[in-house]
Amino acid sequence: MLELFQKFVDLGAIVVLPILIFIFGMVLGTHPKKAFTSGIIVGIGFVGLNMVIDLLGGSLGPAAQHMVERFGLNLTTIDVGWPAAAAISYGTVLGSLAIPIGIGVNILLLFLGLTKTLMVDMWNFWHAAFVASLVYAITQNFALGIYATIAYLTMIYLLADIIAPKIKEFYGYPNITFPHGTSAPGFLFAIPLNWLFDRIPGFNKIQADPETVQEKFGVFGESTVVGLVIGLVIGLLAGYDLGGVLQLGVKTSAVMVLMPRMVSLLMEGLTPISEAANTFVQNRFPGREVNIGMDSALSVGHSAVLSSSLLLVPITIFLAVILPGNTTLPFGDLATIPFVVCLMAAVFNGNIVRTVVGGSIYMATILYITSWAAPLVTMAAKAANFDLGGNESITAMAEGGLWPTLLFILSGKYMPWVMISVILIISLAGLYYVNKVRPTKAN
């Protein structure tokens, strides 16, 4: 059974998600043709999105490497990126159990009315597998790794329920949420920062959402031109010749255009399933609401997210240079920065200045956490027989440096059963409040 799950997961998101979308559509009563078409369109959307991300990564990665070489940086931990982290996560028996555990936890919470999230994006259970693998690397206790998986997933479902209203308000996606391990943590990180920004004189008056920027700067405020300019600047910092600078500028501009179009394909495929899910729930549980749990890829095409993320690429490299004690060389996950900050942008209501400033603070914490956690990530990679490519120390910024990862690592080091139980209890209490107490107060 485990081998079957492993083979299924190894097919990758572009195959796994269309199959799951089709199955969910059929279970929810969608016409077979519509369910099949929805699954195929979602798969096509992910193929296109991955092509755009590969374009971004293939452009920014070499540029970052040139910047590192140009400025003579000496950073010993290489950021191998989320694809490597996912492979490491699912490369063990413990990791492969994340999917059945995630399904079981989701069904139980839905049955008890403790979550509104119906998880479709099962491939991204690798985030739970990643955290559990680090806990296991610390404790060498398999049962504790399973327990950490359950606690992490419960926490992610809580975050998904909390962020769903903001996703509807900012992105305009009703009944969609993102129980995504890379993106959801940024939402909570941004809330206190937004409170602080509101109280800084002058700074709190800056209006920098994409619409305002375009209105003030005309053609130079358009997302395509912003992408072009940012690409040109990064190319100059990398020391490219004129041709290289211009090519990088056009490629980043292309990302600004293509990313939203791929996201619209994803939404086209998801909309019938989302509608069927709500009809299904309303028929059986009147008054209950359900949100489809999807990949935060649906949000990265927003111009505020993309503009801020492109600006954060050179900033992140600069931070890696100047932060004392940092050992992480940003590389593989530079193209994943949109996923890291997409929900921060929602909290900041699309304010690019706030997103860049808040994102810079967030990236600084990520660099420190990745540097500290790198030995555990490297240990987990070796346990999964992952090829380190000659590197002695590796990490993945988009998961290895997030605050939930730090929380579970600290729990694994100090009274693991007690600390992970505390995380689980707090998450369950939060779910009970969000889904049972708060609706009663609203009525």
* Average pLDDT over every residue of 181-188: 94
Question: Tens digits of per-residue pLDDT, 213-256?
Answer: 655 655 555 667 777 887 888 888 888 888 988 998 888 888 77
pLDDT-wise least confident of 82-86, 98-102, 283-287, 370-374: 283-287
Contacts of 420 (CB under 8 A, 6+ apart): 135, 144, 147, 148, 151, 408, 411, 412
Q: What angle do CA 227, 328, 254 make, to 5 degrees?
A: 15
Reference 154, options 119, 192, 182, 191; nearest CA is 119
Kindly report the pTM of this predicted structure.
Answer: 0.83
3-state SS record for 252-274: HHHHHHHHHHHHHHHHHHHHHHH
Question: What is the per-residue pLDDT for 163?
Answer: 96
Question: What is the per-residue pLDDT for 5?
Answer: 62
Task: For residue 328, give the 3-state DSSP assignment.
Answer: strand
Sheet containing 176-177: which strands, arranged edge to edge?
117-119, 291-293, 176-177
Tokens standing for 68? 């590192």
CA 380 to chain centre: 21
CA pair distance 352, 347, nearest whole angstrom? 11
Do residues 209 and 349 make contact, with C-beta atoms less than 8 angstroms apart?
A: yes
Number of H helices, E strands in the chain: 19, 6
Q: 210 pLDDT exceeds 60?
A: yes
Which residue type occupies 240?
Y
CA pair distance 8, 295, nearest whole angstrom? 18
Give the single-character DSSP code of 222: S
Q: 150 pLDDT exceeds 90?
A: yes
Total residues belonging to the chain: 443
Reference 428, options 185, 122, 150, 142; nearest CA is 150
CA dihedral 423, 148, 121, 162 (to 10 degrees): 0
Tokens standing for 81? 């990126």
Do residues 270 and 176 make contact, with C-beta atoms less than 8 angstroms apart?
A: yes
What residue segments make up the domains of the chain, in order of their start? 63-260+295-442
pLDDT-wise least confident of 17-21, 186-190, 208-212: 208-212
CA pair distance 314, 212, nearest whole angstrom? 24
Phi, psi angle pair for 157, to nearest 5° = -65, -35
Question: Tens digits of per-residue pLDDT, 297-321?
Answer: 888 888 889 888 888 888 888 898 8
Do residues 109 and 157 make contact, with C-beta atoms less than 8 angstroms apart?
A: yes
CA pair distance 165, 92, nearest whole angstrom? 36
Contacts of 153 (CB under 8 A, 6+ apart): 98, 101, 102, 105, 106, 125, 128
The dihedral built from the CA positions of residue 85, 87, 90 and 94, taken in this order, carries a sign that is: negative
pLDDT-wise least confident of 35-44, 150-159, 266-275: 266-275
Contacts of 173 (CB under 8 A, 6+ apart): 167, 267, 298
CA 26 to chain centre: 28
Tokens standing for 406? 């730090």
Do residues 341 and 309 make contact, with C-beta atoms less than 8 angstroms apart?
A: yes
Question: Tens digits of per-residue pLDDT, 11-59?
Answer: 766 787 788 788 878 887 888 888 898 888 888 887 887 787 777 777 7
Contacts of 135 (CB under 8 A, 6+ apart): 144, 145, 148, 408, 409, 411, 412, 416, 420
Tokens standing for 280? 């299904």
